Amino acid sequence: MDPLLKDLKPKRHTKPGYTWDLCKVRGTKGIVAKRVAASLAHRIARRRLPTAKLELWTAARDAKVKLSDAEAQQIRVILGPDFGNPNEPPIPDHLQGAVSEALWFEFVSNNQQADRTIERIEAHGYTVTDAGGDGLVVYRTDVGDLTFRLWEIKKHTSEQEVRDTATRAHRQLDTRALDYLARFTGVHSQLVDGELREFYSQLVDYWQQQGPEAGAGVAVSTTLAGAPRDIFETLPIRFPGLKPRLEALLNGFSDYASFCNLVRDEIWKGL
């Protein structure tokens, strides 16, 4: 198992029409929380920074070199929109949303299943506030067919019930799915593989038809106190035609906002 997922300890729950996974990290000052934050920060940097900039970031983080002002600025301009600048307070919504999307990306990338393999993942763009869908995963099933999951990803830090955030995500995905998929369809012109290119060109059609190619998912990251609960019961009610191709993910932390600050500290370590 991937080291990060090993620390997140995903546990799958199977319900009528859908499945949901629970990942938990207890504490924000312990070894595991710090290890998860450090690993997540490195993976975020690895995805977002060009190779040369990643090498600079890694060297600065490991205290091997002192970056020039110009080199540091090159890194800050890429990571700054979501994680703020090292000497300035972050925008909580941006930071917490970016961490939630990063947790989703690592989960779906590394939680491989026997009946399917990942063909392609479309993750968040330059910043978490970019318009469009949060995530799209295209799978190859064990019988050779292509299928996809369109994901809505949320963070929850309000005093309202976390179930309300999940329900809002269901509703948002329902009302905006065609727009999200239309944007993802634009990727088809960049694809070399003919079968995959044709599949992308029909994403909107597959969703409208609600055939075996289409599926949906909702992910929420939050502070989790007490025993975990299934907050996704309305998912099959909202998308009855997509059962059982519905999935959900709940990431629970003792203090989600504090954990996000840990990730941010790791992002800017040495900078």
| pLDDT averaged per 10 residues, the chain (length 271) | 94 96 88 96 95 96 90 94 88 94 96 93 74 87 97 92 94 96 91 95 97 97 82 96 97 95 95 89
Residue whose C-alpha is closest to residue 94's, from 80, 106, 109: 80
Query: Sheet containing 246-253: which strands, arranged edge to edge?
Result: 11-15, 18-25, 246-253, 216-223, 146-156, 135-141, 116-122
CA 42 from chain center: how many Å? 15
Burial of 86 (0-12, 13-18, 19+ CB in 10 A): middle
Give the model confidence (pLDDT) of 110-134 as tens digits: 998 889 999 999 986 666 766 667 8
CA distance 85 to 150: 31
Tell me if 173 sits within 8 A of 235, measured CB to CB: no
Delimit the domains of the chain by residue range.
Answer: 19-267
Tell me if 37 sits within 8 A of 103, measured CB to CB: no
CA distance 191 to 210: 24
